Amino acid sequence: MQATSYTYDPGTRSGQVLLDDGTPVPFDGPAFDAGGLRLLRPGQRVRIETEGEGAELRITLITLQTF
C-alpha cells in the first residue's frame, strides 16, 4: 500500500502517514526501524505494510516508495 509521509519525530522515530483518501495513520519506532530508513520528510511517498482493519489498522513497516 502507498501513502504520503505527514509527520515524523526523529527522537521517537514515530509519526503519521496520510493514505490516498486523506486518512491519517500513525506509525511507531519499530515500524520505522523495520524499513531501514534513517530519516523521513513530510510529503515523501512511502510504501507501508499494515495489519488489522478500521480503527485497529496498524503500520508494521514503512519504507520509501521506489519505481
Residues 6+ positions from 28 with CB-CB distance below 8 Å: 12, 13, 14, 59
| 46 neighbors 29 (Cβ within 8 angstroms) | no
Calculate what percentage of the chain has a pLDDT beyond 90: 90
Q: What are phi and psi of 33, to 5 degrees?
A: -60, -35
Residue matched to cell numbers 495513520: 25
Bigger pLDDT: 20 vs 54: 20
pLDDT tens digits, one per residue of 15-35: 999 999 999 999 999 999 999
Global model pTM greater than 0.75: yes
| 28 neighbors 7 (Cβ within 8 angstroms) | no
